[in-house]
Each structure stands twice: as C-alpha cells, then as structure tokens.
Amino acid sequence: MTPEAVEAQITDLYEASAAAIAPDGWKVDASWLSCSDNSTGDGVNLLFAASRSAPLPGDPAELISQAQIVWQKHGHDVTIERDTNLTPPRWILSDPPYLTGTHPDGSYYLLDVSESAVYFRAYSACVPGNIFELTSPTPTP
C-alpha cells in the first residue's frame, strides 16, 4: 500500500463517519510519522485525529448506530461498546475491538461519541514511503 492509498482510506472513513454524526464543526490533524518495517525499508505511518465539541444533531446512541453502518460498509467489523468509566460516558466503535490493542500491523481505528464531543482517531500500518517527501514543504518558484 502507498502513503496516498493509506491517506485516502483513512480520510474516506473519517468523512463518512463525520457525515453520519455531524457533517461540520470538526478540527482535523493528520501527521506522517517515520517507521521502519524491516521488510520494506523506510516507512511511514499516518496518525489521523479529528474532534468535534459542539451540540450533536441527535441522540448519541442513534448517531453511533449510524456510524456503525458506515464503518461496516467500509469493511470494518465493529460493534458498539459503551464505556461508562469515562467522563462523560461514551459510545465507541473500534477496530480492533475496544481496549484490545492494535492489529498485528500496528493499525487501529476508533470513533467515540459522548453527549458533548466526538473523537475520530486512526493510525495506519507502516507502509513504504519517505518521511521527508511527505513532510517537506513544496518549494515555491
């Protein structure tokens, strides 16, 4: 997989999740990180985070159910978890399942919804790529 494909995959899941929960008011931060996969040499991971802290357009339990359908359409086999140990309590989608760690390749995807905020986080597997090419600004003529 290429860095561009990783970015497209994560961005597509985020945009579909945001559309299911609340389409506007999100703050997004995406960063490429350097990693080394002995089989591929130089590699990169994408750390993608988005948050929204504004009143939701509906009941959080119903919104997370809508997001679950979206995630399943994107190939994620997820169930809704409810974590009442967090303040405020949250409804959570996570791939792999909530609080079980990461996939063997190090990737994970998480969406949590509370009464007052929504968080989306994704961390990609290490893929072949040059961190300097991805993070260096393009020179202007």
The 10s digit of each residue's pLDDT in 73-116 is 999 989 999 999 999 999 999 999 999 999 999 999 999 999 88
| pLDDT above 80: residue 41 | no
User: Shortest CA distance to 45 belongs to which of 132, 114, 131, 125?
Assistant: 125
Q: Are the C-beta atoms of residues 112 and 119 closer than 8 Å to each other?
A: yes
For residues 1-16, give the mean pLDDT. Answer: 96
pLDDT at 38: 62
For residues 45-63, give the mean pLDDT. Answer: 94
Mean pLDDT, the chain, whole residue set: 92
CA angle at residue 116 from 114 to 117, to 5 degrees?
Answer: 70
> Is the pTM of the predicted complex or chain greater than 0.85?
yes
Among 29-33, 37-41, 56-60, 68-72, which stretch is predicted with the lowest mean pLDDT? 37-41
| pLDDT above 60: residue 40 | no
Longest CA–CA span in the chain (Å) reads 54
| pLDDT above 60: residue 17 | yes
Q: Are the C-beta atoms of residues 63 and 56 closer than 8 Å to each other?
A: yes
- pLDDT tier, 126 (very low <50, low <70, confident <90, very high otherwise): very high
